[in-house]
Structure 1
């Protein structure tokens, strides 16, 4: 059985490990079914996509739309490496699921506009609506027409990549999920994130500009009132569909 490649970019170890464990837990992945690369610090290897069942990219504090002079050298190097990888993934229609930053990175690789101009969303729960194309998609099959999910992002894809299938939207950010080809997916919301995970990230990123620091406790209290269950089914469906 080929492993899944999990790519991360969180410099904080607690946030990175929490995200990684959530991918395993909600994806139904065992520890010997993945290869983990932390792009912010690890050696960025040559990747043979034939070695993997699929590729997952998580979120983090980087913004793909920032001007090059605002990015540290490591971010620039990692994003160049990732863009080349994503272009090969799209060209070969390799199973891929990008979350939050993963959507932005894929969108940029596809030539779609990503910016902080519109559609950024505050940290917390939102209502996601499945589109007509989404209803027929195998990863969203059986999900309700609307469901709650956690978000928190400064930048957003301003319009769909050319030829992409629009799978989900929200009132605050139209491009919540799309598919390119048959197997390449991206979601602006987090399919791996539960309430405790959001609370942990709220503490980690309290001073990262997502919200006024004094609002952190209120954000965590609201998160614990949410019943977030449907996004994880998308992650599980991705793993089950492409595990081989």
Structure 2
């Protein structure tokens, strides 16, 4: 029997949601923790922006990188430090899931490129279309070929790292999901968002969307629940739990 405390499943917090949403519903790390629902691994939230020390790769069971309202291409010092650490974590084989900003940062950390999406902001509930490679992917296998997911982003992973496998994409967003190696994934959507959170983002950004010529009310009406996307957090937790016992 293993009496040692297991290494934590780490949520690396790189951003905060809007203040109004945070007051009502909590923040990224709370939504992610709810979705992970790990029964065997302790959760640890680390915020490099405030100077938290990033743990050694062999001291964690898995890593989730949150979204952020910052931009990867701005190369903030805390972001670049996290990118250097991420490369070490991936090299060690520790399971990683990058969400939105985390997806883009993972691509950047491993030699790809993140930057502005040529068509500007994408927001609302969209359809994720899986590639053939997803059929044998440990995180995505068995999911429907298409499923809804929530998005809000200005930047994208414009170029994947060498050797990365694209797992999902479509005409608007060529890389919705990718994997590097056997245990590191990025997703350009938010599995931690529910429909109320997504509507909150549309409402908060309504004036900006209007200025860009986007009908926020129509976007809001199309927001739907996304149970398949949400299930990815629990799937990732199972991968981290299995890695801990490997």
TM-score band, normalised by shorter chain: 0.7 to 0.9
Q: CA deviation at 1:206?
A: 5.4
Residues 35-87 of structure 1, C-alpha deviations (whole Å, 9 max, x = no match): 112333x3221421222110001112111123x6xxxxxxx221122011111
| Separation in 2, partners of 1:77, 1:121 | 25
Over the residues paired in the alignment, what is the CA RMSD in angstroms? 2.4
Match of 1:73 in 2: none
Quick one: distance in 1 between partners of 2:77 and 2:204? 24
Tell me which of 61, 66, 83 is aligned to 2:69: 61
1:6 corresponds, among 8, 11, 14, to: 11
Aligned to 1:51: 59
Indicate if the aligned counterparts of 1:5 and 1:54 stay in contact, CA closer than 8 A.
Answer: yes
Question: What is the alpha-carbon distance in structure 2 between the residues aligned to residue 141 and residue 230 of structure 1?
Answer: 12
1:35 to 44, 49, 67: 44
Decide whether the 8 Å contact of 1:121 with 1:152 is kept in 2: yes
**1:229 and 2:227 matched:** yes
Answering whether residue 29 of structure 2 is matched by residue 24 of structure 1, we say no
- Residue 32 to residue 215, structure 1, CA distance change in 2 (3 Å): farther
Superposed displacement of residue 22, structure 1:
1.6
The TM-score with structure 1 as length reference comes to 0.84
The alpha-carbon deviation at position 102 of structure 1 amounts to 0.4
CA–CA separation in structure 2 for the residues paired with 1:31 and 1:152: 32
- Equivalent positions of 1:1-244 (< 5 A) are 1-11=6-16, 12=18, 14-15=21-22, 17-29=26-38, 33-40=42-49, 42-66=50-74, 76-118=76-118, 120-204=120-204, 211-212=209-210, 215-223=215-223, 226-243=224-241, 244=244
Q: Which digits, 9 at most, give the CA deviation of each residue in 1:217-242, with x for residues without a partner?
A: 5433332xx13111122211110121
**Structure 2: segments with no counterpart, 5+ residues:** 1-5
Would the alpha carbon gap of residues 81 and 203 (structure 1) be closer, same or farther in structure 2, given more than 3 Å must change?
farther
| Whole-angstrom CA distance in 2 between matches of 1:138 and 1:61 | 29
Q: Tell me the distance in 2 between the aligned counterparts of 1:221 and 1:38.
A: 34
Structure 1 portions without partners, runs of 5+? 69-75
Question: How far apart are 1:117 and its partner, in Å?
Answer: 4.6
Number of residue pairs aligned between Structure 1 and Structure 2? 231
Question: Could you say what secondary structure the match of 1:56 adopts?
Answer: strand
CA deviation after TM superposition for structure 1 residue 112, in Å:
1.2
